Amino acid sequence: MTITSPHLGSPAVWTDAKLLYALEEVVETELNRHLKVAKDWMPHEYVPWSDGRNFPGLFEDGEAWDKEQSKVTEIGRIALVVNLLTEDNLPSYHHEIASLFGRDGAWGTWVHRWTAEEGRHGIVMRDYLLASRAVDPDKLEAFRMQHMSEGFESDNRHSMLHSVAYVAFQELATRISHRNTGHQSGDPVCDRMLARIATDENLHMVFYRNLLKAAFELAPDLTMQAVRDVVVNFRMPGHGMPGFERFAAQMAIGEVYNMRIHHDDVLQPVLRHLKVMEIDGLGPEGRQAQEELGMFMGGLDAEALKFDEKLAARKARMAARAAG
């Protein structure tokens, strides 16, 4: 891809403003592709409304919540809360990307479209959880208030390239987390709902992944450094919620999201698709970033193997106790 616009100046000195301008045409192409393949859907159609009944409060017939009222598994309940609280911070996410990408042109259209699509996820998940009585509504609201009151600041808000790299991986991570939550939930209705959400997340990943590919063609060294930084320091957007470390550990053991899944199903697919480790013609800083990325991935795979062994041993102990 060759940049000929006189407004860009020398591509050797890339700024966020120059990159935003240079990628505008790619964003428009990807936006049009996305709008052709994305299908609108109605959140209310995925909620088991007939299972719902009044909670205590204004209604005399209100029934207090009890976890036995829902068929959702314990690990499903934990993961659903984490996933919903993550979706709840959409206002902060919108602020971040609107500030970075702008509100004009194709960038602005994408920002608002993405926000509208993501809004459905929080709507349908909360409606499902309340109608099916899968979680304690009082605790859920307390968590939401605490999490949203603290707000969200991205680790990558300093750089447009870092932000694009991050969401290319994060959207896939969110898709995987939703799908695995559905599989582990014990409720086919929940599984169908989360599969629908995961479809959206995958389309969002494709948008950002293709944008990242274009960035590699424009500024390979800077993009390689951004990918290296993002992969090495990756954190899920829900890391600031109350009790996240404990929830994350339970989700790891429950095989909703752990190091092995992160390595095999999130990082590797994006890196392979973009052939990041095969890119040549890099300058010194780009080559160093590529080497460090390769070393990190090898180390992460080794750590994931240790986790796999511990998880297998834990399963064996639990099976032995059950048999005894």
171 is in an annotated binding site: yes
> What 8-state DSSP symbol labels residue 103?
S
Q: Is the dihedral of CA 95, 97, 101, 104 positive or negative?
A: negative
DSSP bridge partners of 59: 56
Shortest CA distance to 78 belongs to which of 30, 139, 127? 139
| CA gap 15, 296 in Å, rounded | 27
Within 10 Å of residue 224's Cβ, how many Cβ atoms?
A: 26
178 is in an annotated binding site: no
Residues near 116 by Cβ (< 8 Å), separated by ≥ 6?
Answer: none
121 is in an annotated binding site: yes
Q: Which helix (H) or strand (E) holds 252?
A: helix 244-253
118 is in an annotated binding site: yes
| CA gap 98, 101 in Å, rounded | 5
24 is in an annotated binding site: no
112 is in an annotated binding site: no
For the packed helices 90-101 and 105-131, what is the interaxial angle rounded to 10 degrees? 170
The binding site comprises 87, 118, 121, 171, 201, 204
The binding site for Fe cation comprises 87, 118, 121, 171, 201, 204
